[in-house]
Amino acid sequence: QMQLQESGPGLVKPSETLSLTCTVSGASVSSNDHYWGWIRQPPGKGLEWLGSIFHSGTTFHNPSLKSRVTISVDTSKNQFSLKVRSVTAADTAVYSCVRHGGSYFIDNWGQGTLVTVSS
């Protein structure tokens, strides 16, 4: 049974960088069958895809966040990471790391971690 676990600060100041890491167990981020990604959900609102990465480093991002998002992968640690620069209160959300199935549907989700942007 695979698991994804997000880790990182729960509070970030406006204009700073949000950084989260997803540790994968029971599966390998080096798999040729899966992309790995990040989804966020503001409190009481819907789901927003931020971006996804393949073990080779190929990434796809949501243009709505312009160039504020960076996603990287560390195959030696079986982890992948998210950075969101220049955060504002609008970036307050539950951030979840996910595994994509045979295409871009999502077959596994982390539990999610709430990140609050506030001074």
Partner 1 sequence: DIVMTQSPDSLPVSLGERATINCKSSQSVLYNSNNKNYLAWYQQKPGQPPKLLIYWASTRESGVPDRFSGSGSGTDFTLTISSLQAEDVAVYYCQQYYVTPITFGPGTRLEIK
Q: 113-117 and 93-100 as β-strands: parallel, antiparallel, unpaired?
A: antiparallel
Q: Which is nearer to partner 1, 18 or 40 (CB)?
A: 40
| Contact of 98 with 34, CB cutoff 8 Å | no
Residue 43 interacts with partner 1 (CB under 8 A): yes or no: no
Residue 61, SS3 per DSSP: strand
Binds partner 1 by CB under 8 A, chosen from 49, 68, 70, 78: 49
Residue 63 interacts with partner 1 (CB under 8 A): yes or no: yes
Q: Which stretch binds partner 1 (CB under 8 A): 11-19, 21-29, 44-52, 78-86?
A: 44-52
Residue 103 interacts with partner 1 (CB under 8 A): yes or no: yes
Q: Which is nearer to partner 1, 92 or 110 (CB)?
A: 110
Cα–Cα distance for residue pair 55/58, rounded to 1 Å: 7
Cα–Cα distance for residue pair 14/31, rounded to 1 Å: 36
